[in-house]
Amino acid sequence: MFKSLRVGFTGLVIMATLAACGSTGTTTTSTNPTSSTSGSSATMPAATMVATAMPAATDATMSATMMAPTTAATMSATMMATATDATMSATAMGSTAMTGGAMSGKLTVAGSSALLPMMQEAAKEFQAKNSGAQITVTAGGSGAGRTQVCSGQIDIGDSDVKLSSDERSKLNCADAVETPVAIQAFAPVANKKGPGSVNNLTKDQLVKIFNGTSKNWKEVGGDDQAIVLVNRAKGSGTRSNMAKFLFAGDDKQFATGASEEDNSETVRQTVSQTPGAISYLGFAYLTNPDIIALQVDGVKADKADIQSGAWKIGGPGYAITKGKGSELAQAFIQFVTSSDFQNSDAFGKLGFVPVQK
Amino acid sequence: MARRNAILAQSIFFSAAAILVLSTGALVLFIGSTGLRVFSFISPASFFFGRSWDQNTQDFGVLPLLFGSLATTLVTLVISAPLAIAVSIFMVEIAPRPIRRIMRTAVELFASLPSVIYGLLGLTLVVPWLRDALHVGLGKGILAAAVVLVFMTQPTMVSIAEDALRSLPESLREGALAVGATRWQMIWRVLVPAARPGLLTAVILGMGRAIGETMAVQMVVGNITSRIPSNLVSGATTMPAAIVTQLPEATSPAHRAALIMVAFLLLVITLILIAGVRLATGGKSTKASTRRAVPAAQGGRPAAVAKLQGDKV
Amino acid sequence: MAQPAQAASNQGPALQVRTDPSQNAAVGAAQPQVEARHFNFFYGAFKALDDINMVAGEHQITALIGPSGCGKSTLLRAMNRMHDRTPGAHSEGQLLLNGQDINAVEDLVELRKRVGMIFQRPNPFPMSIFDNVAYGMQLGSQRVPQREIPDRVEQALHGAALWDEVKDKIRQSGLALSGGQQQRLCIARAIAVRPEVILMDEPASALDPISTYKIEELMFALEREFTIVIVTHNLQQAARVADQTVFLTMNPETRAGFVVEAGPTGDLFRRPKDQRTQDYITGRFG
Ligand SMILES: Nc1ncnc2c1ncn2[C@@H]1O[C@H](COP(=O)(O)OP(=O)(O)O)[C@@H](O)[C@H]1O
Ligand SMILES: [Mg+2]
């Protein structure tokens, strides 16, 4: 019965979301000169988790929302909680760790929402080893990560892309050190009905499919089956990685498609049940038996080809420090890139490919 | 001593009420003022009459969202309202007690399911079913959302409609039977008109749920914002679905302001609905004098509704 | 119309007893319209009425009186099968309408058109005054032709002594009337279908004295056309309006209701044969 009260709460939900965004936004961007744009991109530490490119983060969001009584209000609340919990526990671990480690001090890490779960996991493990260290990890967007580390607000900025030469000069960040910490990879995926015997498409064929020129699988050698184009929502990291590969970053060239999905899980579900469907997903989803991961120009999205750079969709995410960074920052980045961490189960489960072989 | 307690209690209730009123006012003010900022980026005409919502071109015409919400709600109600009224009539007037109890449990179960479950059921059952039945590529769209919403609105609507029917005095039924009405004539010509305020409330609250539902709709509606859909089975969007899909990724100030303006519109629509409930149930201002002669339960608002409204004030 | 008369009993409060000579003369001659013969009634296992024998004569007013819970309403409601909706309710023996067993009637709609009912609380339908009265005429297999309905509505409202009060607002809601007017509207609704019998279950108990008086006046007028069976806990009312009175009470152990005494109202009130009747009408009975 009380569900009907939602009528009245719809507004509150939005309010809550805004309030959530607003408050975190201020803490991260208050002294930022470009606060209007980066303020808005930095507004979604909680919300970014919904639309993040990484399947793992999406999974977390999905399961969080599944467990909670899902009004939109609790949804955002849950997401907040997820983000905050992670940070909190990361902090807590530091003070209560059993094993006393060598490093101590405080470290703030912010930036890419895609890299957030991986950085949080790393912080947790690092603090368990170094009881004196206190690492705070938040998201806020890659752009915010780059600007804030350059302005000295944070110790490490994580970003899906490197600083542009323009940024290096404008942000007074010529001495920035960019360390690849994890590789994200994305691949076109299709329903089993449609491609027929085709499991490889050229980039050109993919461009035509995703800009709406090719409308039937038989045009690319598959069955006589209409292509159902499923996109991620505009602004999603997965989608922008695809746009970067297919359209040199010009998102406008994407055809509207049959639907635009909010998260990877819905894409997987939709593609797996819709004959003729095509879309794109992150690395963690590619081994899913319900769908076909397509090869591109004869290259398969496997670990070796992603690490070697032969696979062109996606790329490494970076931890950026101004200069070499503090001793603690260096130690933390060293831990993140260590083969122990990179090859750990936790790291793999989050859907990243290790940076080193 | 007792007097002191009474004063204390009164001031607690008073401040609670004041906080509620103030925060509601602040909410409207905040969302309104933030949303209206959109007009420093785009003209009101291009917002209210624009037929495309696309952040790539920075077009923020609200029509695709508004149309999606209204069409979804309308289709939902066309199916859901008669169904809910039929179900509640069956529960109150026809079903034997054990069946009634089973149905009540089912309604409660439906009410307690989280949206995401409805969304998943919609995604895995409704969408493929519509796709195959209607021979369309994907099956997501307004119709899929409406079918999901029919199920989501039933608990609200059935329980309120059931309350409204149940609270009708037995003498009304006997009066109809005593002049020779059959059971169906009694139901349609006497009971349903007598319960109309309650039934209307049921429909309006169901409508509120339909228009505000976010998660489940977002999973099955397709989230296509760039055009007004030409039919019910191609990708579309609704206001809340668009907000929840886009707000996290809205990096341009114009985009954010436009989305908040949509939230404001949604709030306004919600307030209109609440006003509708008050009117339908004969809130203080209307018809008080004609009601006096009516036996308390008859035509009055069901207790549950009064409770709901009480909670909202 | 009704001549007041002093009650013979010296012990109790004075009762006005109906002494309308024409009516009293008719008493013996009246055809039985409703008749109970060894009638038993049960709510599930509970026996509410035990071996009821009574007669309601044609064009007479018959009052059922007795202490609360003795089964007056139960007996009245059995006469148009209102109990059909009550799970577990059943009866034995005979309840006759013009010699025909009411419980054997197949067409309930027709039965209820022949036996109308007025309830304790006025229960107009949530529709206009006109529609309230027209309602019954539009139901069943023998519908009144649409063009005759306005006349029949007016007749019925005249018959219920309501016409003058509502003729200007006939399209307004019946719920907007006063309690007494609502009850007369219900009477209009009942007589519009031209029943043979009208059952009234404490029709004035929710009304003020003036409205009550109007209803009683109305009953005398209605009596010429209809047979009336009225349940009332108001002894004065029974004494004022009824030709015949049936006094029921209940078995103190089983709580089953039974008839103590029945007869012409004047006789029953002035010369009760049974001590229990005597006690009841003089107020000794609780
Ligand atoms: N629907 C019912 N189910 C079971 N018992 C009933 C029902 N209605 C009445 N009774 C019982 O039958 C008896 C007679 O009731 P009723 O006819 O209403 O009495 P009266 O009208 O004389 O006050 C009472 O004991 C009452 O409790
Ligand atoms: Mg009674």
**Is residue A210 assigned to a domain?**
yes
A63 touching B, CB under 8 A? no
Residues A271, A179 share a domain: no
- Inter-chain contact B246–A269, Cβ cutoff 8 Å? no
**Is residue A52 assigned to a domain?**
yes
Q: Decide: B38 and B258 in contact? Cβ < 8 Å.
A: yes
**Is residue B54 assigned to a domain?**
no
The pair of three-digit structure tokens given for residue C16, joined into one six-digit string:
């006005």
Residues of A in contact with B273 (CB under 8 A): 7
Measure Cα distances from A111 to A107, B54, B87, B243 in Å. 14, 26, 53, 23
- Inter-chain contact B248–A270, Cβ cutoff 8 Å? no
CATH classification at residue A271: 3.40.190.10
**Is residue A211 assigned to a domain?**
yes
Q: Decide: B197 and B301 in contact? Cβ < 8 Å.
A: yes
d(CA B127, CA B139): 5
Pocket of ligand 1 contains residue C69 by CB under 6 Å = yes
Residues A125, A62 share a domain: no
For chain A, what is the domain count? 3
Confidence (pLDDT) at A350: 87
Which of C39, C43, C82 most suits a substitution to test ligand 1, by most atoms within 8 Å of the C-beta?
C43
| pLDDT at residue B87 greater than cutoff 80 | yes
Cα dihedral B56, B60, B61, B62, rounded to 10, equals 120
Residues A162, A125 share a domain: yes
One-letter amino acid at A154 equals I
For chain B, what is the domain count? 1
Confidence (pLDDT) at C25: 41
**Is residue A227 assigned to a domain?**
yes
Q: C262 has which bridge partners? A: C246
Q: Decide: A60 and A46 in contact? Cβ < 8 Å.
A: no
**Is residue B127 assigned to a domain?**
yes
End-to-end Cα spacing for chain B: 31
- DSSP 3-state percent helix, strand, coil across chain B (nearest 5): 75, 0, 25
| pLDDT at residue B41 greater than cutoff 90 | yes
The pair of three-digit structure tokens given for residue B104, joined into one six-digit string:
């009540």
| pLDDT at residue C65 greater than cutoff 60 | yes
Best of A2, A4, A216, A253 to substitute, by most chain B Cβ atoms within 10 angstroms, is: A4
**Is residue A117 assigned to a domain?**
yes
Measure Cα distances from B89 to B100, B159, B206, C267 in Å. 11, 11, 17, 51
Among candidate residues A116, A124, A141, the one with its CA nearest the CA of residue A29:
A141
Residues A174, A196 share a domain: no
Residues A321, A295 share a domain: no
B188 touching C, CB under 8 A? no
Pocket of ligand 1 contains residue C48 by CB under 6 Å = yes
One-letter amino acid at C162 equals L
**Is residue B51 assigned to a domain?**
no
Candidate from A168-177, A326-335, B303-312, C201-210 with smallest mean pLDDT? B303-312
A258 touching B, CB under 8 A? yes
| pLDDT at residue B284 greater than cutoff 60 | no
d(CA C123, CA A133): 79
**Is residue A34 assigned to a domain?**
no
CB contact set of A184 (below 8 Å; sequence gap of 6+):
A53, A54, A114, A160, A237, A241, A282, A283, A314, A315, A316, A317, A351, A352, A353
Q: A319 has which bridge partners? A: A158, A179
Backbone CA torsion sign across B263, B266, B272, B276: negative
Interface partners of chain C (CB pairs < 8 Å, 3 or more) are: B
Pocket of ligand 1 contains residue C232 by CB under 6 Å = no
Candidate from A79-83, B56-60, B181-185, C195-199 with smallest mean pLDDT? A79-83
How many Cα atoms within 13 Å fall on the side-chain side of residue A323?
A: 7
Best of A13, A14, A274 to substitute, by most chain B Cβ atoms within 10 angstroms, is: A14
Closest CB to B180 among C113, C125, C178: C113
Measure Cα distances from B271 to A10, B30, B290 in Å. 11, 15, 27
- Ligand 2: centre distance to CA C118 (Å): 12
Interface partners of chain A (CB pairs < 8 Å, 3 or more) are: B
Candidate from B83-87, B301-305, C210-214 with smallest mean pLDDT? B301-305
The closest residue, in CA terms, to atom 18 on ligand 1 is C73
**Is residue A39 assigned to a domain?**
no
Residues A293, A200 share a domain: yes
Q: Do chains A and C touch (3 or more CB pairs under 8 A)?
A: no
Taking only the tens place, the pLDDT of each residue in C144-201 is: 899 999 999 999 999 999 999 999 999 999 999 999 999 999 999 999 999 999 999 9
Could you tell me the pLDDT band of residue C249, with boundaries at 50, 70 and 90? very high
Candidate from A39-48, B239-248, B281-290 with smallest mean pLDDT? A39-48
| pLDDT at residue A3 greater than cutoff 50 | no
Confidence (pLDDT) at C17: 66
Measure Cα distances from A225 to A110, A220, B39 in Å. 45, 11, 45
Task: Spell out where C98-180 has E strands.
Answer: 100-101, 115-118
d(CA A126, CA A186): 28
Confidence (pLDDT) at C29: 56
- % residues pLDDT > 90 (chain A): 50
- Inter-chain contact A266–B219, Cβ cutoff 8 Å? yes
| pLDDT at residue B307 greater than cutoff 50 | no
Q: Decide: C74 and C199 in contact? Cβ < 8 Å.
A: no
Q: Decide: B211 and A199 in contact? Cβ < 8 Å.
A: no
The closest residue, in CA terms, to atom 21 on ligand 1 is C73
**Is residue B182 assigned to a domain?**
yes
Pocket of ligand 1 contains residue C249 by CB under 6 Å = no
d(CA A212, CA A228): 10
Structural domain of residue A245, as residue ranges? 184-314
Q: Decide: A277 and A270 in contact? Cβ < 8 Å.
A: yes
**Is residue A259 assigned to a domain?**
yes
| pLDDT at residue B39 greater than cutoff 50 | yes
| pLDDT at residue B1 greater than cutoff 80 | no
CA distance A262 to chain B (A): 6
Residues of B in contact with A66 (CB under 8 A): 114, 116-117
- Inter-chain contact C136–B193, Cβ cutoff 8 Å? no
The closest residue, in CA terms, to atom 12 on ligand 1 is C48
C110 touching B, CB under 8 A? yes
B299 touching C, CB under 8 A? yes
**Is residue B1 assigned to a domain?**
no
What is the mean predicted confidence (pLDDT) over A131-158?
89
Confidence (pLDDT) at B222: 95
Structural domain of residue B106, as residue ranges? 63-312
Among candidate residues B186, B191, B92, B165, the one with its CA nearest the CA of residue C82:
B186
Which of C73, C74, C120, C255 most suits a substitution to test ligand 1, by most atoms within 8 Å of the C-beta?
C74
Nearest ligand by distance to the CA of C201: 2
